[in-house]
Copies of this chain bind each other. A is one copy, B any other.
């Protein structure tokens, strides 16, 4: 069983819009055991759409098409579809009622142009779209499935999740998928591989995928028609690198830490210099974070480190603002200032300027405090300012996670 995604849209070809839709669909299809073999991006022109449909119908079993379904004259997909499937547009009353109701729900009169939305190829099954006015279309021909969807991401996603995945699953006998995810941080891919080597040698028949990002490496194990032995394999993988795994779900680290703080009834504050506010930004992205996040400071100037956090002036004079000692006094100071149970601090040289002979760009000290336990660690990140901030923020959150768990 092979799938093809056809993305229609001039904005995708002119460099204005990144094709995130195709990636999302590929991921969803993969989750039910259907592999995407081709993603074809074309312009909104008759010839291209016809050619792409012909090519796809010759090689794929499931064809998912997005874009070009709106009511305006430049949305020509529907008439081309009719030509391709040798059918014609008819007024689909049920769809017309549905589209009218959408406008009623918005307290608007339906503009006449939207009658076009209810014109549907005769042999198609319209897929009602509660989030927009263009219905999706489904064709079932020669044991193949064709889906046409609007290009608006949330409309497309809703059609896939509420209907299309189930339809594909019902029609075809897809292999059952068993999958594990272990999200790690604070360890390089090559070091992970070293630690996992004995397990990988023991189970040479099973796959492993590493997804390295600047802020960590995700390990994914996916197997079709897996048995118990695959689960044992996954557990041995997990146990070999457990310290570095912050979650076995799709959650990000700030959500994982937030859940931990909530469960333990702990409060948090931050004192950032190197990370410039990114730690508190990532914490406050999590709904409900106001329950545990009390406050933070970004102390970019030395004076603010001294005056607002109580860092000793002599510490900065003797060791510098970028030092283990300053990171330590910052984290102690901010915990005291906001009377929290835990705190994180960062100081360093994010770059590109600010480096000295002894202190290169990317040098960073992070500290975490949990009740009376403190840990301070030195890092050498890279040259890119934003990536440095991201790595620093992640490492700071992870430092606290491990401190609380005693890892």
| Chain A interface residues toward B at CB < 8 A | 12-20, 22-30, 35-43, 48, 209, 211, 270, 276-281, 283-285, 287-290, 293-301, 303-304, 308, 337-338, 350-354, 385-386, 389
Contact = CB atoms under 8 A, between A and B. Distances in A.
B284 A294 contact: no
8 contacts: A13-B36, A15-B25, A276-B284, A277-B283, A281-B389, A295-B308, A296-B298, A298-B298
A127 B20 CA distance: 30
A361 to B, nearest CB: 11
A406 to B, nearest CB: 27
Contacts of A37: 13, 42-43, 48
A81 to B, nearest CB: 20
A297 to B, nearest CB: 5
Contact of A301 (B20, B25, B42, B294): B294
A35 to B, nearest CB: 7
Contacts of A276: 280-281, 283-285, 289
B39 A15 contact: no
A284 B275 CA distance: 8
A295 B297 CA distance: 7
A304 B41 CA distance: 51
Contacts of A19: 18-19, 22-23, 39
The count of identical subunits is 2
Contacts of A295: 297-301, 304, 308
Contact of A300 (B20, B48, B290, B385): B290
A283 to B, nearest CB: 7
A44 to B, nearest CB: 12
A36 B15 CA distance: 9
A99 B19 CA distance: 34
Contacts of A283: 276-277
Nearest to A284: B276
Given A37-B42, A39-B40, 7 more contacts: A15-B28, A276-B280, A290-B300, A294-B300, A294-B301, A295-B301, A296-B297
A281 B296 CA distance: 12
A36 B13 CA distance: 6
B13 A27 contact: no
A16 B211 contact: yes
B285 A281 contact: no
A280 B270 CA distance: 13
Given A277-B296, A280-B277, A300-B290, A39 B20 contact: no
Question: Among A37, A48, A277, A350, which residue has the most Cβ atoms of chain B within 10 A?
Answer: A277
A52 B294 CA distance: 56
A40 B40 contact: yes
A30 B15 CA distance: 8
A48 B18 CA distance: 23
Contacts of A352: 287
Question: Among A38, A41, A288, which residue has the most Cβ atoms of chain B within 10 A?
Answer: A41
A300 B267 CA distance: 12
Contact of A298 (B42, B48, B280, B353): B280
B284 A353 contact: no
Question: Among A20, A22, A276, which residue has the most Cβ atoms of chain B within 10 A?
Answer: A276
A351 to B, nearest CB: 7
A279 B29 CA distance: 37
